[in-house]
């Protein structure tokens, strides 16, 4: 049986390429990329200072001689100072929202847009998308890369698109009910939101036409996947990407859910210790560092993603040879240090979702009322578990506090919240409120 189902216009033989050939292709493409970057002042300076030319890149280890690129470098070259083509050759600009201040812009040529659509198409096909499917895209269409990136990927596969965009949850449900799409695409937190509103509108999961969901753009846990699969009666797939590198399409899961296959013919992947910058072996958590190999408008060398994950090069039964990344367990910049403990929001999510009675809706707040930091987790109770009996709620609260303590090693205040009270997300959920900057 063919393990990789081929959808003709999407399949690229590079997906099954033996490692040796893949490495050779990467090296050739890396040298080309360096050539394209030779006149970009930031890289020109770095190449001159490091006395490195494309001819010096003889093996993948030589990648380590290249400079890192960071979010700060992008900011210093705002808005399009890292572009490797003139403005006249740009076909589109996207950007990441940026939590503070201005977005980071990235440019695409027409060829980049075509490459990007192909990359999205590949992971969608790996996760079950077929030309006869209808797909509802509930990602924002705009500077954010989610909407347009996936849109053109679906088009490449040949499936029908409902470009619903993010938000208008009742309208999303109307579209699902009336047009009967097979697939939904959005952030995992928005998928939960849609499921919840659908239920409140009287739809049972099995009433909905959806069979598959492709989710990405924010961290989520395995328990969250199970909640989404149950509440929408679908198979849920994870996909990862970031605007600086291209947007969605960097990696995605196949039917085996063994981690997300990197599309290594287009990106070089490194996993490093964020402090020592040394490479991490397979299976050990580190920061992903990505180099784009085929982008024309704004190629990026060794981008420090700040996303922490593990990488696995072992074979996958699907036959794809691209290494796989684990879920993103956190970002180097969203790790909370509270009373000496390093805590990722994903640890809290994982613990909460295992407790009977809690809904997958929570917010973490950190304050510094005196000398010591205090962490509070507000979590909603599932409607069927909500009770007027103080003793029952108290017991549940204590249970949650105990579980969180053992997951994190610190005492955390727990506040139980009535069902449906926390703000729902339509895009990337904001789970952490850190008030310490304001109070210290």
Residue ranges binding ligand DLL (CB under 6 A): 96, 144-146, 216-219, 238-243, 247-248, 305, 307, 328, 331
Q: How far is the CB of 396 from ligand DLL (least distance, A)?
A: 29
Nearer to ligand DLL, 26 or 145 (CB): 145
| 271 within 8 A of 287, measured Cβ to Cβ | yes
Each residue of 51-62: b (16+ CB within 10 Å) or e?
A: ebebeebeeeee
Question: Least CB distance from residue 72 to ligand DLL, whole Å?
Answer: 15
The rounded distance, in Å, linking the Cα atoms of 67 and 402 is 45
3-state secondary structure of 118: helix
Instruction: Compute the least distance from the CB of residue 228 to ligand DLL, in Å.
Output: 13
**How far apart are alpha carbons 92 and 150 in whole angstroms?**
15
* Shortest Å distance, C-beta 233 to ligand DLL: 22
Dist CA 70 CA 80 (whole Å)? 15
| Closer CB to ligand DLL, 181 or 330, in the complex | 330
CB of 386 to ligand DLL, least distance (A): 30
Instruction: Give least dist CB 67 to ligand DLL, A.
Output: 20
Residue closer to ligand DLL by CB (options 185, 416) is 185
Number of alpha carbons in the 13 Å side-chain half-sphere of residue 314: 9
Between 27 and 159, CB nearer to ligand DLL: 159
Which of 248, 259 has the CB closer to ligand DLL? Answer: 248
Question: Is residue 21 within 8 Å of 13, Cβ to Cβ?
Answer: no
CB of 395 to ligand DLL, least distance (A): 34
Using the minimum distance from each CB to ligand DLL, give the nearer residue, 364 or 396.
Answer: 364
- Please, what is the minimum distance in Å from the beta carbon of residue 243 to ligand DLL? 4
Please report how close the Cβ of residue 256 comes to ligand DLL at its closest, in angstroms. Answer: 17
Of the pair 57, 162, the CB lying nearest ligand DLL is at 162
What is the C-alpha separation between 155 and 131, in angstroms, rounded? 9
- Nearest distance from residue 84's CB to ligand DLL, in Å? 19
Between 199 and 331, CB nearer to ligand DLL: 331
Measured from the CB atom, is 260 or 416 closer to ligand DLL? 260
Tell the smallest beta-carbon distance from residue 263 to ligand DLL (Å).
13
* C-beta separation of 339 from 408 below 8 A: no
Nearer residue to ligand DLL within complex by CB, 306 or 320: 306
Query: Toward ligand DLL, which CB reaches closer, 242 or 396?
Result: 242
β-strand pairing of 413-417 with 374-381: parallel
Residue of minimal CB distance from ligand DLL? 216
């Amino acid at each position: 049986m063919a393990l990789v189902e081929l959808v003709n216009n999407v399949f690229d033989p590079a997906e099954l390429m033996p490692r040796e050939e893949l490495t050779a292709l990467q090296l050739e493409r890396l040298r080309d990329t360096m050539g394209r970057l030779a006149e970009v002042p930031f890289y020109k300076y770095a190449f001159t200072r490091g006395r490195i030319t494309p001819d010096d890149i003889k093996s993948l280890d030589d990648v380590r001689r290249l400079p890192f690129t960071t979010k700060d470098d992008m900011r210093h070259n705002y808005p399009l100072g890292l572009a490797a083509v003139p403005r006249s050759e740009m076909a589109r600009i996207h950007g990441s929202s940026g939590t503070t201040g201005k977005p980071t812009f990235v440019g695409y040529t027409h060829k980049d847009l075509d490459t990007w659509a192909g990359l999205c198409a590949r992971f969608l096909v790996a996760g079950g998308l077929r030309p006869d499917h209808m797909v509802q895209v509930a990602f924002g269409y705009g500077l954010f890369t989610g909407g347009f990136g996936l849109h053109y990927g679906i088009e490449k596969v040949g499936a029908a698109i409902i470009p619903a965009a993010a938000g208008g949850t009742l309208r999303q449900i109307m579209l699902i009910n009336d047009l009967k799409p097979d697939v939904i695409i959005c952030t995992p937190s928005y998928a939960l939101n849609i499921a919840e509103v659908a239920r409140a509108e009287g739809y049972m999961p099995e009433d909905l036409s959806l069979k598959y969901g492709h989710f990405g753009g924010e961290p989520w846990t395995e328990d969250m996947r199970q909640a989404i699969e149950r509440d929408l009666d679908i198979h849920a797939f994870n996909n990862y990407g970031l605007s600086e590198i291209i947007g969605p399409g960097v990696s995605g899961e196949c039917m085996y859910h063994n981690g997300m296959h990197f599309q290594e013919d287009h990106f070089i992947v490194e996993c490093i210790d964020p402090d020592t910058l040394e490479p991490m072996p397979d299976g050990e958590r580190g920061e992903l560092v990505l180099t784009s190999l085929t982008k024309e408008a704004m190629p990026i060398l060794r981008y420090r993603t700040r996303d922490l994950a593990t990488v696995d090069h072992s074979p996958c039964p699907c036959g794809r040879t691209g290494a796989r990344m684990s879920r993103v367990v956190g970002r180097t910049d969203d790790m909370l240090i509270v009373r000496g403990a390093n805590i990722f929001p994903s640890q809290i999510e994982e613990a909460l979702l295992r407790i009977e009675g809690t809904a997958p809706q929570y917010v973490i707040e950190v304050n510094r009322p005196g000398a010591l930091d205090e962490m509070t987790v507000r979590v909603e109770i599932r409607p069927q578990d909500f009770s007027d009996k103080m003793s029952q709620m108290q017991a549940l609260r204590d249970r949650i506090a105990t579980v969180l303590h053992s997951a994190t090693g610190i005492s955390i205040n727990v506040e139980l919240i009535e069902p449906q009270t926390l703000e729902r997300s339509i895009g990337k959920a904001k789970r952490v409120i850190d008030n310490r900057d304001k109070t210290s």
